[in-house]
Chains A and B, each alone.
Chain A
């Protein structure tokens, strides 16, 4: 069976499994749904959280970025895992104790203010829509490859499927589907990694293979350093992302963003107890870590395989364009891989020097999907990677769209502006906002502000600068009042958006970047994707200054804070 047919088969079968489970679990559990209002086992919840959390950015994009950023890519690895430590210790148990259903709802209770709720919803929507844009890029890449069409056609196909899937997902809301998605994702990610690790180093465990020797006795990482530096690229294991300061701030931004993203926090409202909320964060991170510790091996091995396929020690023996393998041709069709024969010798020369490099475009987001093909793995492995990538992208996109829709229809309309709205109207509004979000995200997908993981990093920065400080101060400071919290959220996300737009154009429309011709990354050399941590600092500072000059918190709110700090009063 050829690759395309196999891919359709795998994708079709996995989708059938998800829909089947959703249907089966829904039929059996309606009363459970109403009675328990929680009660999902921490391990099950952890696995579902992991599936919800690991998106196209983690699955399709991250290892590709690490492959080219080398050591600098560590910001994604540490940033997207370390946030769970913050979540487990600083937020999840107390939010579970309070027992609200959405994040803006907690903010409105704690800060006794509908304005605070509206501000929280706005921050949440900005961050979530940016996140969905990142998913759209990943989905576009995946579909363009498997349908063998240009990226733009793949993107539009993906938009339709996501919109359809989100409406379906709105009806399921069941943890078991996500558990199945996790299992498929993790197999799809680790199987090719095991094969490639075994092939290159003889060690089947990728985490160990990355530190092992190859057939010729040199360590894999040393070999990679040697190959890339010879071709004029930076040394893989030491190449920093801009600067130490930038990496520090970037990592911090991703960590606090993780703990500030509403669709992750909401997961901890569904467990049975405060104790379970703490454990559940541990299980979620354990399941995430399986993929995240494999990713660096995938990255390094993919880079090595790519380099060694194209470039030879003697440049005259480089791969001839006429002899290029089928994966090369297929990715050329998508427009995400481009070759330009600058010296007209018919050979492909891939170097770190812009003047002579002939691989003029190698989109980072294609690496994970192309990796098994480059390594010459069997077609069924390639097909399962496709199914895994789509599962990752679709489950997260659908979850985010639901979060956006519910915050508009439930928090804004029903909670603030139109309390008397009927259930049917609420549902209609939520469908309209979902379709609106797909269209906006799809529009930006044609011209994404960054690679999928970079765009998602922006979303984390926005969540870090707004939601996380408001939640943390709400729990750890009894004195924080509504004026402080509102001013903090607005200034935090404001500063972050300003810095991002100044670099990437207003609403990401290039050519509208303002403030004149300022240097790129002008603030301490920090790139816009990393700015959320600075935004969070501004948030904290502004909140405390405003608090010290405004009215005190009502006594009943202080009591509420004391109450959420203890699991139970015996």
Chain B
């Protein structure tokens, strides 16, 4: 049973890591600190505005694939993968 517990801990640690990034790009960059970031520009975009309307969405897509891939490895490491 402790193997399963450790597996679950590894999963939670990965989730915390991913959701921190999720929170930072959308809630912090896109909303809370948007005015500060808007002083920086990339092309015609103000950076805060870019995160709110573009950057956060790209990050979300990458995050899910990263999570799926990492979990695949963790599944094998703890020998709980599907066959």
Contact = CB atoms under 8 A, between A and B. Distances in A.
Contact of B60 (A85, A238, A273): A85
Contacts of A247: 31
Given A219-B44, A244-B32, A279-B68, A292 B4 contact: no
A555 interface: no
A211 B45 contact: yes
A222 B44 contact: yes
A358 B1 CA distance: 71
A233 B65 CA distance: 41
B70 to A, nearest CB: 10
Contact of B26 (A82, A88, A213, A296): A82
Contacts of B82: 273-275, 567-568
Binding site of A, secondary structure by majority: helix, strand, loop or mixed?
Answer: helix
Interface in A4-25: none
A29 interface: no
Given A85-B19, A219-B43, A285-B64, A71 B4 contact: no
A508 to B, nearest CB: 29
Interface stretch (A73-81, A172-180, A459-467, A481-489): A73-81
Nearest to A296: B53
B80 A566 contact: yes
Contacts of A275: 68, 71-72, 75, 81-82
Contacts of B50: 211
Interface string A246-290: 011001100000000000000000000111001101100110010
A248 B57 contact: no
Contact of A74 (B11, B52, B61): B52
B30 to A, nearest CB: 6
Q: Size band of the B side of the interface? A: 35 or more
A247 B52 CA distance: 11
B38 A238 contact: yes
A248 B67 contact: no
B49 A248 contact: no
A89 interface: yes
A251 B34 CA distance: 14
Contact of B52 (A78, A84, A89): A78
B22 A82 contact: yes
Contacts of A281: 64, 68
Given A77-B53, A207-B54, A237-B38, A251 B18 contact: no
A453 interface: no
A34 to B, nearest CB: 22
Given A85-B19, A292-B57, A293-B54, A567 B45 contact: no
B3 to A, nearest CB: 9
B21 to A, nearest CB: 9
B72 to A, nearest CB: 6
Nearest to A300: B53
B83 to A, nearest CB: 7
B64 to A, nearest CB: 4
Contacts of B19: 85-86, 89
B57 A212 contact: no
A278 B83 contact: no
A167 interface: no
B80 A85 contact: no
Contacts of A296: 53-54
Interface string B1-24: 100100110010001001100100
A285 B80 CA distance: 26
A213 B45 CA distance: 11
17 contacts: A74-B30, A78-B56, A82-B60, A88-B68, A90-B15, A210-B54, A219-B44, A221-B44, A251-B26, A278-B64, A289-B60, A289-B61, A293-B54, A562-B1, A566-B80, A567-B80, A570-B79
Given A282-B68, A296-B54, A562-B4, 12 more contacts: A77-B53, A78-B57, A82-B60, A85-B19, A89-B18, A90-B15, A211-B43, A237-B46, A238-B49, A251-B30, A289-B61, A293-B57
